[in-house]
Amino acid sequence: MTPMQSEARQAAMSTARSATRIVLVNPTKFLGNLLLSGGLIQQLCQWCTRHDKRLLLVLDEGFKDLVDGVFPGAELVFYPRKALLPGAPVVAGVKAWWRCVAAIRRFRADLAFTIEEDSVCHRLTHFSGARYKVSSTSHRYHFGFDLVLDIARSGRSAHEASIWFSIRDVFRALGIPAEGEPAYLVLPSRPPAEALLRRLDSSGVVSEKPLLLIHAGASKPYKQWPPQQFAELIGIAARRGYQVCLVGAGGADQRINREVLAALMSAAVGSGQSVDLVTGIACTDLCNQLSLTELASLMSVSARMLGNDSGPSHLASALGVPGVVIFGPTDVDIWRPLAANTVVLEKKLLCGSTCSRHHCPLAYRCLSEISATEVAGRLAL
């Protein structure tokens, strides 16, 4: 660190200590990112309460119900992402965006900072009206900030490789205490409501069998375990007495779930069994049928969870559901689930020297070579 950088960081720490109004701009659309950073944000809430500071959190509107009551003492503003999606009414989107910005500006922050690298966080910080603005990355968006922190997100020492430590270091650079071992956002226990139980019953989900939840989708193709292997795993689980629910949200998850069910059907036909036996496997597709809080409630009564490196996998891990998360070329050390009863499966040793996340001449065999039998064993079905 140069003398100038050291002086700037000292100024930031002084600003954070003297600030009475702090804004954390964190409208990430990724559930996993929110869960991985959430425990540290809860520490920030406690610190602000102890020192009589007002805290405003800017979060994505998609998590509004999930975070209800989990950030005590903080004021919340929600970024209207849906209103700004392509195809949404332009005028309504502009108005929703401006209402979000106006709410942040009315807070009259002394300090606004980010813990993410995306453009939405940085634009909202720019427009926050805060007296002092801090970016958490030196790799992008330097313009308009009073301080740009150089916090490494990769290439860190093995015992501090998790993204949790990178976020912790942002807080510490601002003089905000952040302690302990990596831990998720602490969520309240929400058992399934009666209305949800009735809907599950009407979908054929019964309480007599242990429930295996599967999130077969992924935000990127390079995170996707093949649908055929998911189907094979479902067959194994069914033979061992489990019922299976496919979960997810959005068109991409819906398409993947249909591919899994089609592969399940093909397996039944190929084995000479009646297609009607597929119903006996007790695999129910709940994609786009559950809110995020309902998904969390369903997880609370599930026996196992299987998924790719994705938000629902992190949610299950945060809720203590035993499970397996399948990783492809993504950096496991950075994005590894934090719960001890969540097992990571990866085979990056099979990757070639020219493989990358976005280009793989080996057709992502680091994913395809993970067998259903191996997954079933790690799930302890």
pTM, to two decimals:
0.91
Do 306 and 344 fall into the same domain?
Answer: yes
351 pLDDT band, cuts 50/70/90, is low
Identify whether 62 is part of a domain.
yes
Q: Which domain holds residue 332?
A: 194-379
- C-alpha distances out from residue 341 to 236, 338, 356, Å: 21, 9, 29
201 lies in a domain? yes
Contact 341, 60 (CB under 8 A): no
Q: Do residue 161 and residue 302 come from a single domain?
A: no
- 63 and 143 within one domain: yes
On the question of pLDDT at 279 being above 90, the answer is no
Domain identity same for 147 and 99:
yes
Residue 194 class from Cβ within 10 Å (0-12 exposed, 13-18 middle, 19+ buried)?
A: exposed
Number of structural domains the chain divides into: 2
Same structural domain, 212 and 242: yes
Q: Does one domain contain both 213 and 251?
A: yes
Assigned domain for 354 exists? yes
Last residue of a domain, one of 141, 173, 205: 173
Parallel, antiparallel, or unpaired: how do β-strands 132-135 and 74-79 relate?
unpaired
pLDDT bin (cut points 50, 70, 90) of residue 277 is very low
pLDDT of residue 271: 45
Of 142, 173, 204, the residue that ends a domain is: 173
Q: Are residues 139 and 200 in the same domain?
A: no
- Work out the pLDDT band at 13, boundaries 50, 70, 90: confident
CATH number of the domain residue 238 falls in: 3.40.50.2000
